[in-house]
Chain A
Amino acid sequence: MKSVGNLSIYKKSNVWLKFLIGAVALLFLLTVINIFSSPIRNYFYVVFSPLQKMFWSAGESSSTFLGSLLNAGSLNVQNEKLRQENQQLLSQIAFLQSIEEGNQAQSDVSTACQNSGFKLVMAGVVGLDDNDMLSINKGTADGISEGMPVINQQNVLFGKVFKVYKNFSTIMLVSNKSSIINVKVQQTDITLPEIDGVVKGTGSLKAYLDLIPINSEINADDVLVTSAIDKSFPKDLLVGKITQKQKNDQKPFQQADISLFFDVKAVDNLFVITNYKQAK
């Protein structure tokens, strides 16, 4: 009986020993993998980027196709065209307003990218994960570095470069839960005082507006553009528009639901601003 008991204890300790050895081996393997994580990731992206791009384009086309079927013909295409035209016009308004205000001469950087002299690197979008991180097919080999702003051709801000590898980069979108951007409300009447706030990402490609002073007057459809308060981004890049404000007189600041201008799933190429000087 005693020998049977000893055998049982021996088997149990054997199992625990195997488990411990397995855990140590796994830990060692993961440590080694993470030491070489940059080249490993870069290798996979370089080799399979064309396939990713193909899947991305196929997904975009398929969803547009299905969407147009469900929405009766060319409504989606027409909508997209109008949306792009609208963004272009809003961007031009921002540019003209800032010239009128006389800020351009005092600013360290140009206010709008049409005449800004920004150096842009075009990058193809290849993937999106569920943490609102976008992958693009350009990296350090193309002059990209962390923190660089990323926009589309209509000067809509998408986010900033979060992590950069040799041949690809990941972009933290403005809707990422860690993203906080200083913005201002675009005023049609330039005599009115500037209203500043922050756009905070909530994930799922959404964000909200916060820290608007309680006595500031904001309205639905007000357009939000980047301000140059913290100099993380060039100013007057389009961010989104207010859909519904949430004012509570008990709080010192008001918030608002916003609709972001970027449409991640409909974009094939983005532009990284490589020569914008940021705050240290």
Chain B
Amino acid sequence: MLIIILLFFLFSLLQNSFFVHFDILGAAPNLVFVFFFLLSFFAKEDMPYSFIFFAITAGIFIDIFSYTYLGSSAVLFLVVGGLLKGVQSVLKSRDDSQPLVYFAPLFLVFFIIYEVLLSVYLRFIDPAQTLMIFDLKFVVAAVYNLAFALIGFFIFKKFGTGNVKKV
């Protein structure tokens, strides 16, 4: 658990200070979201509510480095995590031998859901903000984050232990 907390913090530092220099068309990777998604996706069946801990931890670290209220991202992550668990429980009835087949599209869908929710929230606290625009920058952001998610997927697949299952 402590390692997970430290990793969340490290990723939030990296995405705010290091990876901003490696943006593509203004899109930078959201490592905290990617890590949260991976943890929730690979969470063991006997710990179905572990995503709550991951969501609160990830959300608070993201908010520390932003101007929004502390914990607001935690709520967004809780929504995303809850929906993910719901979808996974439905998919569990199917063959689970090729999780990559549904990991990539699931990640993209939930990335979009997260960005839309975030956009609505930012608009709520600051009416000057525009709502989500599905432009080239958004597509690039989705692909960029997916690339990191896929790297993480294979790492989790190979080394997943403790709170996460090894597939």
Cβ A44 vs Cβ B64 within 8 A: yes
Q: How many residues of B contact A (CB 8 A)?
A: 32
A40 in the interface, Cβ–Cβ < 8 Å? Answer: yes
Cβ A37 vs Cβ B69 within 8 A: yes
Cβ B122 vs Cβ A59 within 8 A: no
Cβ B19 vs Cβ A177 within 8 A: no
Cβ B17 vs Cβ A265 within 8 A: no
Q: Which residue of the partner chain, among B18, B67, B69, contacts A133 with CB atoms under 8 Å?
A: B67
Nearest A-chain residue to B49, judged by Cβ? A22
Nearest-CB distance from A270 to chain B (Å)?
Answer: 15
Cβ A265 vs Cβ B70 within 8 A: no
Known: A37-B69, A178-B129. A52 touches B16 (CB 8 A): yes
Nearest B-chain residue to A43, judged by Cβ? B64
When distances are taken between beta carbons in the complex, the residues of chain A under 8 Å from B70 are 30, 33-34, 37, 40-41
Cβ B22 vs Cβ A131 within 8 A: no
In the complex, A170→B2 CA distance in Å?
29
In the complex, A10→B108 CA distance in Å?
38
Cβ B129 vs Cβ A204 within 8 A: no
Cβ B21 vs Cβ A127 within 8 A: no
8 A Cβ contacts from B121-152 to A: 122, 126, 128-130, 137
Give chain A's interface secondary structure class.
helix
Known: A30-B74, A44-B64, A135-B16. A63 touches B129 (CB 8 A): no
A58 in the interface, Cβ–Cβ < 8 Å? Answer: yes
Cβ B69 vs Cβ A63 within 8 A: no
When distances are taken between beta carbons in the complex, the residues of chain B under 8 Å from A128 are 16-17, 20
Known: A131-B122, A177-B130, A204-B137. A55 touches B18 (CB 8 A): yes
Nearest B-chain residue to A127, judged by Cβ? B16
Cβ B74 vs Cβ A126 within 8 A: no
In the complex, A254→B67 CA distance in Å?
33
B26 in the interface, Cβ–Cβ < 8 Å? Answer: yes
Known: A40-B64, A177-B128, A204-B26. A127 touches B17 (CB 8 A): yes
In the complex, A53→B16 CA distance in Å?
11
Q: Which residue of the partner chain, among A37, A52, A204, A205, contacts B13 with CB atoms under 8 Å?
A: A52
When distances are taken between beta carbons in the complex, the residues of chain B under 8 Å from A129 are 16, 65-67
When distances are taken between beta carbons in the complex, the residues of chain B under 8 Å from A34 are 69-71
In the complex, A93→B128 CA distance in Å?
34
Nearest-CB distance from A61 to chain B (Å)?
Answer: 9
B28 in the interface, Cβ–Cβ < 8 Å? Answer: yes
B14 in the interface, Cβ–Cβ < 8 Å? Answer: yes
B60 in the interface, Cβ–Cβ < 8 Å? Answer: yes
Cβ B17 vs Cβ A56 within 8 A: yes
| Mask of B64-86 contacts with A, CB within 8 angstroms, 1/0 | 11110111001100100000000
Cβ B65 vs Cβ A127 within 8 A: yes
Nearest-CB distance from B144 to chain A (Å)?
Answer: 12
When distances are taken between beta carbons in the complex, the residues of chain A under 8 Å from B25 are 204
In the complex, A159→B56 CA distance in Å?
32
In the complex, A22→B126 CA distance in Å?
28
Nearest A-chain residue to B123, judged by Cβ? A177
Nearest B-chain residue to A178, judged by Cβ? B128
Cβ B13 vs Cβ A51 within 8 A: yes
When distances are taken between beta carbons in the complex, the residues of chain B under 8 Å from A56 are 17-18
Cβ A135 vs Cβ B18 within 8 A: no
When distances are taken between beta carbons in the complex, the residues of chain B under 8 Å from A40 are 64, 70
In the complex, A130→B114 CA distance in Å?
14
Cβ A170 vs Cβ B129 within 8 A: no
Cβ A130 vs Cβ B28 within 8 A: yes
Known: A131-B122, A178-B128, A204-B137. A163 touches B67 (CB 8 A): yes
Nearest-CB distance from A190 to chain B (Å)?
Answer: 35
Show 21 residue pairs from A and B whose CB-CB distance is below 8 angstroms, ordered by the A residue: A33-B70, A33-B71, A34-B69, A37-B69, A40-B64, A41-B70, A44-B64, A58-B18, A59-B17, A59-B20, A60-B21, A127-B16, A127-B65, A128-B17, A135-B65, A177-B129, A178-B129, A203-B26, A204-B137, A205-B26, A265-B21
Extra inter-chain contacts (7) besides given A44-B64, A59-B22, A130-B28, CB under 8 Å: A26-B74, A30-B74, A37-B70, A52-B13, A63-B22, A129-B66, A204-B137
